[in-house]
Amino acid sequence: MKNVLILGGNGRIAQFAIQDLLTTNNKVTLLVRDANKVPETLQNKVKIVVGDVNDLNLLTTAMKDIDIVYSNLGSRDIVPLAQNVISAIKSTSVQQLIWVSTLGIYDELPTKFNEFNHHALGNGGEQSYLSTYTKAAKLIEQAGINYTIIRPAWLTDNNDLDYELTEREDTFKGTVVSRRSVGVLIAKIINQPEPYQGRSIGVNKPNTDGDEPIKY
């Protein structure tokens, strides 16, 4: 059993992770901006902290007695959020951070798909989605904390549970993956985090290779 803090707990990936975490008797705390968006089915099963990750004092307090932090944050201002998460972890007893990033932060995609991804995620601009997520991941890798970075392929709302993994130095496989698959993977890592420490993991649905995200 782990004490888990989820940042951005109302996110769609997080909802799948939460379902699995609760079935394995973990204690789950959600840090959210709007408590009203937490599904009614979870209201009495999780602890809810209302606040903003930009608030370092609140974030640090929320991490008290937490074993693992899972960040499900999505923001154009992801770099200062990453800095706050790192600072809070370093001042608490958190054992591991699971950080959801995006594919392409290492230019690890096959050439044509990499070109599509760069164009779709900001064309390499300094403040583009891809550039800022690259910077945030680099901060985490160099922070001196235990981490696991997750790099999902383009996300779908399909209900399939089907994924494969690649490592940081591997060429990324596939083009899409379901949010359910990513959420289930994250719950698996939280339940047994040690083998995943220090890894940056790409996750995709097998046999979905292409020059751009396939439709399925």
CA distance linking residue 156 with residue 179, whole number of Å: 6
Buried b / exposed e over 39-54, threshold 16 CB at 10 Å, is eeebeeebeebeeebe
Instruction: State how many domains the chain has.
Output: 1
E strand spans, the chain:
3-7, 27-32, 47-50, 68-71, 96-100, 147-152, 154-156, 164-166, 176-178, 199-204
Do 62 and 39 meet the contact criterion of CB atoms below 8 Å apart?
Answer: no
Percent of the chain with pLDDT over 70: 99
Does residue 123 fall inside a structural domain? yes
Does residue 216 fall inside a structural domain? no
| Kind plus residue range of the DSSP H or E element containing 114 | helix 111-120
Does residue 211 fall inside a structural domain? no
Percent of the chain with pLDDT over 90: 93
Collapsed DSSP state (helix, strand, coil) of residue 55? coil
CA distance linking residue 141 with residue 199, whole number of Å: 9
**What CATH code is carried by the domain that includes residue 46?**
3.40.50.720
Residues 100-151 have pLDDT tens digits of: 999 999 999 999 999 999 999 987 677 889 999 999 999 999 999 999 999 9
Structural domain range at position 98: 3-204
Residue 127 burial by Cβ neighbours in a 10 Å radius (0-12, 13-18, 19+): exposed
Does residue 212 fall inside a structural domain? no
Is the CA virtual torsion 160, 114, 202, 91 positive or negative? negative
Residues 83-106 have pLDDT tens digits of: 999 999 999 999 999 999 999 999
Which pLDDT belongs to residue 126? 75
Does residue 39 fall inside a structural domain? yes
Does residue 29 fall inside a structural domain? yes
Checking if the pLDDT of 216 tops 70, the result is no
> Left if phi > 0, otherwise alpha if psi is -120 to 50, otherwise beta: which for 14?
alpha
Which pLDDT belongs to residue 160? 96
Residues 72-84 have pLDDT tens digits of: 998 889 999 999 9
